[in-house]
Structure 1
Amino acid sequence: MSGLEQLAVLAAGLGAGVLTSTVGVASLLSFPVLLAVGLPPVVANASNTVGLLPGAVSGSVGYRAELRVHPRLTWSVLLACGSGAVAGAFLLLSLPAEVFGAVVPWLILFTCLLVGVQPRLSARLRSRHDGGTPVDRTAMSRTTRVFCALTGVYGGYFGAGSGVMAMAVLGLGLDVEMRVLNALKTLAVMAGNLVAGAIFVAVADLDWTAVGLLALGSVGGGYVGARIGRRLPPTVLRALVVAAGVAAAVGLLV
């Protein structure tokens, strides 16, 4: 890579770190940059996952206060998404990219719809328990755990929009504050990147220059993004997640 290309990858890492901790579509910024500087798609995808891991870690550290609110829930999200990412990583290494490439934009659009309607849908789901008495849900049900694991599968395979998917799944299955939900979403992305990244380091071809530049940029971006995400009003944050997801899906379609 030329000096200008390296600067572009570094900037992409910084921006992706911010997006990981806020709207959850980091890979839609960094992955195209890696393709633009000449990396093959699978190498770019694996390098992107490993390179953005420090940003997801720093974002989760930035949300440490929110993650302590429900510690058992935090561990449940970590384990569910991490276990799903194992399958996703091996799918990336064994299947043609076209298999998921055709459905990825539609998955992202569907999850954007879920994020948008989640408050009303969650309220209706709660009202059906105990004859209409609202129920506080701060632990994952089996259904939520399964879909959380599937989010990990997707994150391990491709990852673009996995934060949006995690926000939708956790928002529908839980009753927690929006800032806590955003923290759990960032943790879900970190879990997927951590497990898939470990597999990629062991068995995949990586561009270590790209990995290093993304990692350097994403560390600062992830922490800054957590500070921004904590201060955003819930309605604004939800709108940004939906807008970012739609833009990501349209970008993939075209």
Structure 2
Amino acid sequence: MTWYEAVAILIAGMAAGTINTVVGSGTLITFPTLLAFGVPPITANVSNNVGLAPGSLSGAIGYRRELSGQWPRLRRLVVASLIGGLAGGLLLFALPASAFEAIVPVLIGLGCLLVAVQKPLSAWVARRHDATGGVGYHGAWWVWPLVLLAGVYGGYFGAAQGVLLMAILGIGVPETLQRLNAVKNVLALAVNGIAAVLFIVVADVDWVIAGLIAAGAVIGGQLGATVGRRLPDPFLRLLIITVGLAAIISFVAG
């Protein structure tokens, strides 16, 4: 690896860590960068996942203030993310890449649509649940299984995992987007962390690449927490949709 490739991967990791903390989809920066330098796709995928896991931790710590009062909710949802992340990591070795990549643009598009219509859908969900006693602290019943499915996707590849999680949480859980973004960062950490452990045990991780991405992602996680906390909900929603659409274009063009 040349010095400029190392610098490029470090910078890509920093950008990915920042974007993952604010929205998600940082993989769409690091993964293509690794492919451009000739890293085999599976090695790039697992090394990228291992490298971004510390960035997820950094972002979660950066948003710790918004996690106040949400630990019972987190404990419940983290279980779903851990199960989903492990299942997704196993699917990476059980299925051909084309099998899952075919549905990735559809999943991202659905996430963008859900974020776009989050307010009226949230109101509709709230009205339905008010008739039976309210949505409650943990949100609608379908939040847990959908978080699990988002974890499966995240463990397999993970691009725009944050978009999907924000769509699910934004519609189904009665909280502000900023506080839900903090929850999203912890759930993404759970998914990336369990998948990283699996990859370390059974896959061929390029530790130089993983280390460079990790160093950049940790810095980016703190930058993302600083920037993301200052964004108003409408702007954050617009940013989520924009990143999601960019992800779809990237997949289709690729």
Distance 2:107 2:46 in 1: 21
Distance 1:77 1:33 in 2: 32
Partner of 2:222: 223
**CA 1:233/1:130 → structure 2, altered by over 3 Å: closer, same or farther?**
closer
Q: How far did residue 139 of structure 1 move?
A: 0.7
Partner of 1:202: 201
Q: Which amino acid aligns with 2:193?
A: L
Q: Is the 8 A contact 1:156 1:193 kept in 2?
A: yes
Q: Which amino acid aligns with 1:86?
A: L
Distance 1:129 1:36 in 2: 49
Alignment of 1:37-76 (within 5 A): 37-76=37-76
Alignment of 1:98-247 (within 5 A): 98-131=98-131, 135=134, 137-247=136-246
SS in 2 for 1:138: coil
Q: Is the 8 A contact 1:93 1:204 kept in 2?
A: no
Q: Is the 8 A contact 1:115 1:168 kept in 2?
A: yes
Q: How far did residue 154 of structure 1 move?
A: 0.3
Q: Is the 8 A contact 2:125 2:172 kept in 1?
A: no
TM norm structure 2: 0.96
Which runs of 5 or more structure 1 residues have no equivalent in the other structure?
A: none
Partner of 1:78: 78
CA RMSD of aligned residues (A): 1.3
Distance 1:192 1:106 in 2: 21
Q: How far did residue 142 of structure 1 move?
A: 3.7
Q: Does 1:29 align with 2:32?
A: no
Distance 2:248 2:35 in 1: 17
* Percent of residue pairs bearing the same amino acid type: 44
SS in 1 for 2:174: coil
Q: How far did residue 26 of structure 1 move?
A: 0.8
Q: Which amino acid aligns with 1:100?
A: F
Q: How far did residue 130 of structure 1 move?
A: 3.6
How many residues are matched? 253
Q: Which amino acid aligns with 2:63?
A: Y
Q: Is the 8 A contact 2:129 2:135 kept in 1?
A: no
Q: Which amino acid aligns with 1:38?
A: G
Distance 1:77 1:230 in 2: 22
Q: How far did residue 128 of structure 1 move?
A: 2.1
**CA 1:79/1:132 → structure 2, altered by over 3 Å: closer, same or farther?**
closer
Q: How far did residue 102 of structure 1 move?
A: 1.0
**CA 1:132/1:124 → structure 2, altered by over 3 Å: closer, same or farther?**
farther
Q: How far did residue 137 of structure 1 move?
A: 3.3
Which runs of 5 or more structure 2 residues have no equivalent in the other structure?
A: none
Distance 1:146 1:211 in 2: 31
TM norm structure 1: 0.96
Partner of 1:11: 11
Distance 2:198 2:122 in 1: 36
SS in 1 for 2:229: helix
Q: Is the 8 A contact 1:89 1:157 kept in 2?
A: yes
